[in-house]
Amino acid sequence: MSEQIDSFESFGFKPQILRGVKEAGFTTPSPIQIEAIPYIMQGKDLIGQAHTGTGKTAAFGLSTMNRVERESGVELLVITPTRELATQVSDELFKLGRFANIHTVTVYGGMSSYRQIDLIGRGAQVVVATPGRLLDLLQSGKLKGFLPSMVVLDEADEMLDMGFIDDIKEIFKFLPRERQTLMFSATMPVPIRELAKQILNDPVFVKIVQEEAAKKDIAQQFYVIEEHERDDAILRLIDSEEPARSIIFARTKKEVDRLSTMLIARGYSAKGLHGDMEQRSREEVIKGFKSSQLEILVATDVAARGLDVKDVSHVFNYHIPFDPESYVHRIGRTGRAGKKGIAVTLVTPLEFKELQRIKKTVGAEIIRGIVPTLGDVRRVHSGKLINAIAHARLLEEAQPILSGLIEQMDLQQVALKMLSLLIERQNLSGPDRIGISPQRLEKLLNDQNRRTSDRPRWRGGNKGGSSKGGYRKPPPRGRRDR
């Protein structure tokens, strides 16, 4: 089936839907679209295992909206775990379906439910909702005649992590028995497989493996530092890399607030994003980041779940992620749509074993790096300054200023003072060297390799563990942000 599909025209979409595809700038279908769309178009239930950024929103959006028949009344319901993802999915569906006269309403907490109910009542065919608000509206009986024939459960594993599974089961009690149900999830833990058995009918299973794309498009690096050097290291790497748009992942809300304040004090355009922020503030931060008004977004894992922003050049892990899945999710914010990205992780010697575990589980090549010295960064900036001066546009206002300065000092002094002023404005600071010494790092790597080669390898059975040698998630070391 997939070998015959090389364009969106091959799916047999209505002309209005194809126009939305063209206006959105889509040219070639992604693997999840090639595999899933034909089954969805046939009305089959489907489980799609794919990460954010693979094009799954367009996969279920195009194929379901192509089947919308009524001019008014909800036909498609999409359930997402977070408000940010609900808004994002709703925006994309609106763009893809607008030429087919398909209206979309977003339903989530923190906004007026009366307004949302009113918009649905005006004839919306698509509703994108978070579980909590949707369940409230269904239980209160405020959604009259709510009978979607197509239901999508997006980011199902995140629903599980955030404790929404019971809400989801309750929601499905209010939905028509005769319906098409689609479930998308990056991972398939046992509770998600059990949920699938309850809400889907003889589903087709489609799995898209993204690891190879991640290896190809994302340069993954790690830097071994001491615990007290984290702030200096993150600032030095940002000063050195000068990313156009980047995300720094932190573990807690408090850490997000502290890091964003520190970056702003250093002159960077930065903002934080976490679960304790008011909805309007969260939306403003995401809008500012998407429109390039912000250079740096500091976020917790949950706040950034499903965040789809183009042209993120760098992802920084201030701390090593809790598990391999979080690592894959984080670095997946960069290197999207065929563009190259850089993922940087800070680790201490004590965390080095965890990095090795992630490398092995994910199958990633993560290259060690040395944090640039202050002198290294100054030399790079000096080269850029020379190039900028050489190509600078001459302004008329510059001549009288220069004439006035020459009356007070000679030309060489004028030039040196002006250059000194520009260098000071680069605002570079911190210790010259950051991170453990190359000798200590080499010893750390050798010790790790020795432990790996000396580890006993069991044959035929397993003592005290899985016979497949699978990864077992460690207990959390701190409460995650919700």
pLDDT in tens, 55-84: 899 999 999 999 998 788 999 999 999 888
Nearest-angstrom CA–CA distance, 235 and 245: 15
* Percent share of the chain, pLDDT over 70: 87
- CA-based max dimension of the chain: 89
State mean pLDDT over 336-340.
76
Pairwise CA distance, residues 392 & 409, whole Å: 24
| Per-residue pLDDT at 361 exceeds 70 | yes
Query: Which burial class, exposed, middle or buried, applies to 275 when counting CB atoms under 10 A from its CB (0-12, 13-18, 19+)?
Result: middle
The span from the CA of 67 to the CA of 307, in Å, is: 27
Say which residue the tokens 């993954």 belong to.
220
pLDDT exceeds 60 at position 466: no
Mean pLDDT value across residues 309-329: 86
- Distance between CA atoms of residues 422 and 22, nearest Å: 46
Residue 78's H or E segment, with its range, is strand 76-79
Helix%, strand%, coil% for the chain, nearest 5: 45, 15, 40
pLDDT for 139-189, tens place per residue? 999 998 899 999 999 999 888 878 899 999 999 999 999 999 999 998 888
Which helix (H) or strand (E) element contains residue 385? helix 374-390
CB 96 within 8 A of CB 124: no
Query: What tokens does 84 get?
Result: 């940010």
Give the pLDDT confidence score for residue 272 in this predicted structure.
93
pLDDT, greater one: 304 or 452: 304
CATH number of this structure's domain 212-373+434-440, picked from the four choices 3.30.1380.10, 3.40.50.300, 3.30.390.50, 3.20.20.70:
3.40.50.300
- Please state, in angstroms and rounded to a whole number, the distance separating the CA atoms of residues 270 and 296: 5
The confidence score (pLDDT) of residue 478 equals 41
Tell me how far apart the alpha carbons of residues 256 and 298 are, in angstroms, rounded to a whole number: 6
pLDDT at residue number 481: 39
Question: Tokens representing 264?
Answer: 């702003």
Entry pTM: 0.59
Cα–Cα dist 325/220, whole Å: 15
Residue 18 identity (one-letter amino acid)? L
Confidence check: pLDDT of 120 > 90: yes
CA–CA distances in Å: residue 309 to residues 38, 91, 212, 332: 28, 13, 21, 11
Q: Residues spanned by CATH 3.40.50.300 within the chain?
A: 2-208, 212-373+434-440
Local confidence band at 357 (pLDDT 50, 70, 90 cut-offs)? confident
> What pLDDT is recorded for position 53?
67
For the ranges 42-56, 85-99, 105-119, the lowest mean pLDDT is seen at 42-56
Phi, psi of 183 (to 5 degrees): -125, 130
Higher pLDDT, 145 or 41: 41
**Domain at 2-208, CATH class:** alpha beta
Average pLDDT, the chain: 84
